[in-house]
Amino acid sequence: MTQGHRRWGLPATVRTTLVALPLIVFAIAGVLAPVLAPADPTANDLAAGLLPPSADHLLGTDQLGRDQLSRILYGARISLAVTAAVLAISLAAGVVIGTVAGYLGGRVDRVISRLIDMAVSLPGMLVALAVIGVRGPGVENLVIALSLWAWAPYARIARARVAGLRGSPHLDALRLLGAGPVRVIGRHLLPPALAPCLVYASTDVGAIVLSVATLSFLGLGIPPPHAEWGQMLIEGRPYLASAWWLAYPPGIAITAVVFAGNLLGERLAGGDERPSILRWVRPARRPRHSIAPRPAPAGSPATSAAPAASAEDDVVLRVRDLSAGYPHGGGLRRVVAGVSYEVRRGRVLAIVGETGSGKTTSALAPFGLVDPGAVVTGSATLGGGAGALELMGRTPPERHRVNGRRVGVVFQDSLAALNPLRTVGAHVDEAVRNAGRGGRRAATRRVSEELLRLAGLPDPAVIAREFPHQLSGGMRQRVQIAIALAGEPELLVADEPTSALDVTVQAQLLDLLGRLRDELAMAMVVVSHDVAVISRLADSVAVMYAGRIVETGPLATVIGNPDHPYTRGLLDAVPRPGAAPGTRFRTMPGRSGAGPDDTGGCAFAPRCPIAVAACADDRPVLEAASTVAHRSACLRHPGGTALQPGTARERDRL
């Protein structure tokens, strides 16, 4: 990510150059070896044999008294020469063959592609050894042997590039203008085909140097008395234990060049900088702010979806001042700011908002179901009375005692939320075992089938043996519900449970959720942008915009008498309660707001039809609108019947 690329504080090009440094040194050493080398690499001096490094011989001498540094430099020279020859031959042959195949297409292309496939699937080292085996060692044979397999990847790259260009109108135009195939290929196809090949060649250098060294080491590459790195190692073999300067420098030289080639290839291929969702992070960084629920000071910017509770034991989830953000350029980029809400036994809270408004994060962050890199602060209490449990700052193992037991989650995309390689039954079985309700395999499966039946799936024994992709979207969503119910949870969190389903299926699922709420007396948090879901299921609503709650209250009040201009806009073109399933909120004109901290004023101001100058500077606070329970964050309270800015007493209870 951005952070990773900036880790060394160097631009990417400089870092790539650094990575390629051994290759550059290798090239320079190879070209300038006659100038740089202090001695003749083949000059024997038996009297000075096996000398350790000294001022005269910086890397010592070998058994024949030859200067080791000079031999390393000349080794680079011969490796470089062979590499350059192999690259030149295989690049030229590969690019021409690939370009011709890509240009002609049809049968020629098929035959050549097949040939390329075969050449690529042959083990290069064996080909080289076999060719040298019949032709004998020596520099030319080495070059021939290595080129014989090295061309194929270039041909493949060039073919793909040219085949992609073939249909372009630009080429058709050229042909109409009378350009012959030679001209078209030479002027317009070879150059673009060559470019990716050259990039690939830079990463191929290491591979070729390694082959040269390996073959020379086996006595089948560069023959003595030439200095070559692999050759030097085999010649020095008897003295390795006593003369370390014979053992290390050639090996280090080869490794450095090959390593640089590999690293370069990896960088060019994109590497794997991105860390995964499941990555391990230090358990629960304690949030900077106090995590305990605290009375918000008067005028606090915290937004809240519910007034202070009266019957504490009834509250299943109470979220206070929840913020979530990601490290960004040294700071924190928040996606959710100061969100508070609560939901009681047997009640349903709907969180409503556009994509990117932070509604899913607000619902899932209390349970740690966000990217581990996210910084989440605030407090979230699950359950009331004696069973109350603060969820923030929990370690992953502690979360396993909450998730799947006290809380069940239904995700939006049921196909993605189920492991494609496991049967439905395996998923439910796992949930049952996680919840501690499992036993022997058959007993667990019986519980699973019961759950599937509870979720309204007919014939659970058969369904359990199916893979997710074999079920319809509605059935998969029921499977998710069955999984969520495995722990007999107090709370069900459903993220867009009915999106992407057709209307009748949606209605059935909503009925199911409503029935489950009643029968199991669960609390639910439903994230949705679907009016039907909200009007059929919810008891209260929280409307989110740009990471904050902008309006909240009982369903009937918010839908029937919306206060915030955003809510009004959403509901404008939509029939009121009883709307057909699938009815979406009207999309609002204008771009949706970005983050909660992008402006010091009201985030909705750019799109608000009734904005005034103050809106850009003063951030509105959630305040009582038509009733105490119905609150909205707008400076103007267009709902009209506002109990003006709220009494001090009411604010204190926020």
Partner 1 sequence: MRAPGRLRFAGRYVTRWAVDTAGVLLALSAGTFALVLLARGDPAAILAATRAGRSATPEQIEAVRAELGLDAPAPVRYVRWLADASTGDFGLSLRTNTPVGPEIADRMGVTLGLVAGSAAVALVAGVAVGVAGAVLGRGPVRGALRGGALLATSVPAFWLSYLLVLVLALRLGLVPTSGMAGPATWVMPMAVLGLPAAGALSRVVAVTLREALDQPYVLAAQARGSGPVSIVLRDGLPNAAGPILSLAGVTVGSLLVGTVVVEQIFGWPGLGAYFVHAAAARDVPALQAAALALGGGFILANRLADVLQALIDPRSLRDAGGTGPRAAGRGRRPSRRGGTGPREEAT
Binding to partner 1 (CB under 8 A) within 465-494 occurs at 467, 469-470, 480, 483-484, 486-487
- Phi, psi values for residue 375, rounded to 5°: -100, 115
Nearer to partner 1, 135 or 294 (CB): 135
Nearest to 254 by CA among 480, 40, 23, 451: 23
Tokens 């506002």, residue located? 642
Q: Which does 293 bind (CB under 5 to 8 A by kind): partner 1, ligand SF4, none?
A: none
CB of residue 620 to ligand SF4, shortest distance in Å: 4
Among 306, 409, 549, 635, indicate the residue that binds partner 1 (CB under 8 A).
409
User: Helix axis angle, 124-135 relative to 190-217, nearest 10°?
Assistant: 60
Q: Which does 615 bind (CB under 5 to 8 A by kind): ligand SF4, partner 1, none?
A: ligand SF4
Among 281, 388, 500, 612, indicate the residue that binds partner 1 (CB under 8 A).
281
Longest Cα–Cα distance of the chain, Å, equals 107
Among 266, 598, 618, 652, indicate the residue that binds partner 1 (CB under 8 A).
266
Looking at the DSSP bridge assignments, the partners of residue 331 are 328
Nearer to ligand SF4, 487 or 565 (CB): 565
Nearer to partner 1, 138 or 582 (CB): 138
- C-beta neighbour count of 223 within 10 angstroms: 15
Stretch that binds partner 1, among 93-101, 186-194, 236-244, 533-541 (CB under 8 A): 236-244
Nearer to partner 1, 124 or 460 (CB): 124
**How many chain residues are in contact with ligand SF4, going by CB under 6 A?**
13
Nearer to partner 1, 275 or 356 (CB): 275
26 is a contact residue toward partner 1 (CB under 8 A)? no
Q: Is 230 in contact with 214 (CB distance < 8 Å)?
A: yes
Q: Is 553 in contact with 630 (CB distance < 8 Å)?
A: yes
612 is a contact residue toward partner 1 (CB under 8 A)? no
Distance (Å, whole) CA 248 – CA 233: 9
Stretch that binds partner 1, among 33-41, 233-241, 301-309, 544-552 (CB under 8 A): 233-241
Q: Is 357 in contact with 546 (CB distance < 8 Å)?
A: yes
269 is a contact residue toward partner 1 (CB under 8 A)? yes
Q: Is 34 in contact with 76 (CB distance < 8 Å)?
A: no
Q: Which does 636 bind (CB under 5 to 8 A by kind): ligand SF4, partner 1, none?
A: ligand SF4
- For the segment 333-372, give every residue that binds partner 1 (CB under 8 A): 367-369, 372
- For residue 439, give both structure tokens: 């036993």
CB of residue 563 to ligand SF4, shortest distance in Å: 9
- For the segment 600-629, give every residue that binds ligand SF4 (CB under 6 A): 602, 604-605, 608, 610-611, 615, 620
CA-to-CA separations, 6 to 1, 3, 275, in angstroms, rounded: 9, 5, 16
Among 35, 176, 182, 421, indicate the residue that binds partner 1 (CB under 8 A).
421
Nearer to ligand SF4, 378 or 565 (CB): 565
**What is the length of the chain?**
654
Nearer to ligand SF4, 547 or 565 (CB): 565
Q: Which does 203 bind (CB under 5 to 8 A by kind): partner 1, ligand SF4, none?
A: partner 1
Nearer to partner 1, 53 or 137 (CB): 137
Decide: residue 508, CB within 10 A, 0-12 exposed, 13-18 middle, 19+ buried: middle
CB of residue 150 to partner 1, shortest distance in Å: 9
Stretch that binds partner 1, among 172-180, 273-281, 529-537, 560-568 (CB under 8 A): 273-281
- For the segment 128-167, give every residue that binds partner 1 (CB under 8 A): 128-136, 149, 152-153
Distance (Å, whole) CA 157 – CA 195: 10
Please report, as a single letter, which amino acid is at residue 268.
L
CB of residue 375 to partner 1, shortest distance in Å: 14
Build a one-symbol-per-residue string for 485-514: x at contacts with ligand SF4 by CB under 6 A, - elsewhere: ------------------------------
CB of residue 211 to partner 1, shortest distance in Å: 4
Please report, as a single letter, which amino acid is at residue 229.
W
157 is a contact residue toward ligand SF4 (CB under 6 A)? no
Q: What is the DSSP letter of 621?
A: -
Looking at the DSSP bridge assignments, the partners of residue 403 are 407
- For residue 26, give both structure tokens: 């290798």
Stretch that binds partner 1, among 49-57, 245-253, 315-323, 438-446 (CB under 8 A): 245-253
Nearer to ligand SF4, 427 or 636 (CB): 636
Q: Which does 189 bind (CB under 5 to 8 A by kind): partner 1, ligand SF4, none?
A: none
Stretch that binds partner 1, among 78-86, 215-223, 448-456, 498-506 (CB under 8 A): 215-223
Nearer to partner 1, 179 or 256 (CB): 256
Among 125, 171, 628, 629, indicate the residue that binds partner 1 (CB under 8 A).
125
Tokens 């010592």, residue located? 60
Q: Is 30 in contact with 23 (CB distance < 8 Å)?
A: no
Nearer to partner 1, 13 or 242 (CB): 242
Looking at the DSSP bridge assignments, the partners of residue 491 are 407, 523
Q: Is 393 in contact with 366 (CB distance < 8 Å)?
A: no
544 is a contact residue toward ligand SF4 (CB under 6 A)? no
Q: Which does 620 bind (CB under 5 to 8 A by kind): partner 1, ligand SF4, none?
A: ligand SF4
Nearest to 159 by CA among 121, 132, 197: 197
Distance (Å, whole) CA 275 – CA 1: 9
The CA-based angle 379-385-387, given to 5 degrees, is 75
635 is a contact residue toward ligand SF4 (CB under 6 A)? yes
Q: Which does 263 bind (CB under 5 to 8 A by kind): partner 1, ligand SF4, none?
A: partner 1
Nearest to 636 by CA among 598, 594, 608: 608
- For the segment 552-591, give every residue that binds ligand SF4 (CB under 6 A): 564-565
Distance of CA 463 to the CA centre of its chain: 32
Nearest to 116 by CA among 86, 95, 145, 89: 95
Nearest to 574 by CA among 585, 558, 565, 566: 585
Q: Which does 634 bind (CB under 5 to 8 A by kind): ligand SF4, partner 1, none?
A: ligand SF4
Distance (Å, whole) CA 57 – CA 93: 43
Sequence-separated (6 or more) residues with CB below 8 Å from residue 51 = 57, 60, 61, 65
- For residue 58, give both structure tokens: 């910086």
Distance (Å, whole) CA 91 – CA 99: 12
Nearer to ligand SF4, 30 or 553 (CB): 553
Stretch that binds partner 1, among 274-282, 374-382, 551-559, 642-650 (CB under 8 A): 274-282
CB of residue 86 to partner 1, shortest distance in Å: 11
* CB burial string 530-560: b at 16+ within 10 A, e below: bbbbbbbbbbbbbbbbbbbbbbbbebebbbe
218 is a contact residue toward partner 1 (CB under 8 A)? yes
Q: What is the DSSP letter of 586?
A: P
Where on the chain is the footprint of ligand SF4 (CB under 6 A)?
564-565, 602, 604-605, 608, 610-611, 615, 620, 634-636
